[in-house]
């Protein structure tokens, strides 16, 4: 369970401090797939960053699995993040590494070993239907293929939560539809999915619960 309780978040402008959220409360059940929509500047990415503890609210509380994440000590944040997979808007793949090595790097970064890497990678790439890409480099792939690899990297360590920031923003309609289908596949494994997007058409077609941040203003 993810719970936002009376959260206020502000940012600095040239003239004043402006609220992104004011007294924002929302609950997301385990295994749910929720889509966050809103115009640019509405706070979609900020919501994900607060869950990652990349930024903190001015007031209010955020609970993950019943724990107030404000109480997580700085030294323990990397361990907390191990239970969260993230897909960034700009891919962030290692350009001089193959798909296989990108995934190995993700496993090693969370304390995994080379010994366990091969089977985990085979399983994830097969589930996503991209096992033929394992020797390819990011520069050799289309945007849609790179996004699939990003999805593989995000779930390779079996996270409880997957945060997805504008996954279809730079993709053609066919690739966008395929990414949405694969997010459904991932969610069916019991992973809670939180997806931020300005693509209202994709959000509507997904048929999932939406949190429309524009309505909070």
68 pLDDT tier (thresholds 50, 70, 90) = very high
29 and 66 in a common domain: yes
pTM of the model: 0.90
Give the CATH number of the domain where residue 25 resides: 3.40.50.300
Write out the residue range of the structural domain in which residue 195 sits: 1-83+159-217
| DSSP-derived pairing of the beta strands 67-68 and 84-87 | unpaired
136 and 108 in a common domain: yes
Tell me what pLDDT residue 13 has: 55
- DSSP strand E in the chain: where? 2-12, 17-28, 33-37, 59-64, 67-68, 84-87, 161-165, 192-197, 209-212
Alpha-carbon distance of 18 to 6, in angstroms, equals 17
Domain termination site, one of 121, 143, 158: 158
Q: How do residues 24-34 score in pLDDT, each as one tens digit?
A: 899 999 999 99
User: Does a structural domain hold residue 206?
Assistant: yes
Alpha-carbon distance of 89 to 87, in angstroms, equals 7
Q: How do residues 74-99 score in pLDDT, each as one tens digit?
A: 999 999 999 999 998 777 888 999 99
Residues with Cβ within 8 Å of residue 147, at least 6 apart in sequence: 87, 91, 167, 171, 175, 179
CA 211: distance to chain centroid?
16
Alpha-carbon distance of 205 to 155, in angstroms, equals 24
Q: Under DSSP, is residue 86 helix (H, G, I), strand (E, B) or coil?
A: strand
User: Does a structural domain hold residue 88?
Assistant: no
Report the b/e string of 178-197 with b at 16+ CB within 10 A.
bbbebbeebbeeebbbbbbb
Instruction: Give the closest residue to 163 by CA, choosing from 61, 72, 84.
Output: 84
40 pLDDT tier (thresholds 50, 70, 90) = confident
Domain count, the chain: 2
* Alpha-carbon distances of 141 from 113, 132, 144, rounded to whole Å: 27, 12, 8
């Amino acid at each position: 369970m993810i719970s936002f309780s009376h959260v206020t978040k502000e940012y600095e402008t040239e003239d004043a401090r402006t609220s992104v959220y004011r007294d924002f409360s929302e609950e997301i059940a385990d295994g749910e797939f929720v889509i966050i929509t809103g115009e640019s500047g509405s706070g979609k990415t900020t919501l994900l960053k607060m869950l990652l503890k990349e930024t903190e609210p001015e007031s209010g509380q955020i609970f993950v699995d019943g724990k107030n994440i404000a109480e997580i000590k700085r030294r323990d944040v990397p361990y907390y993040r191990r239970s969260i997979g993230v897909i960034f808007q700009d891919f962030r793949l290692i350009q001089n590494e193959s798909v296989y090595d990108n995934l190995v790097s993700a496993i090693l970064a969370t304390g995994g070993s080379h010994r366990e890497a091969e089977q985990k990678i085979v399983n994830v790439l097969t589930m996503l239907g991209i096992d033929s890409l394992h020797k390819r480099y990011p520069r050799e792939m289309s945007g849609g293929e790179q996004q699939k690899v990003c999805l593989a990297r995000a779930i390779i360590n079996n996270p409880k939560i997957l945060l997805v920031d504008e996954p279809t923003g730079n993709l053609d309609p066919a690739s966008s539809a395929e990414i949405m289908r694969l997010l459904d596949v991932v969610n069916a494994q019991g992973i809670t999915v939180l997806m931020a997007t300005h693509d209202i058409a994709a959000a509507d077609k997904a048929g999932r619960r939406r949190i429309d941040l524009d309505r909070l203003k």
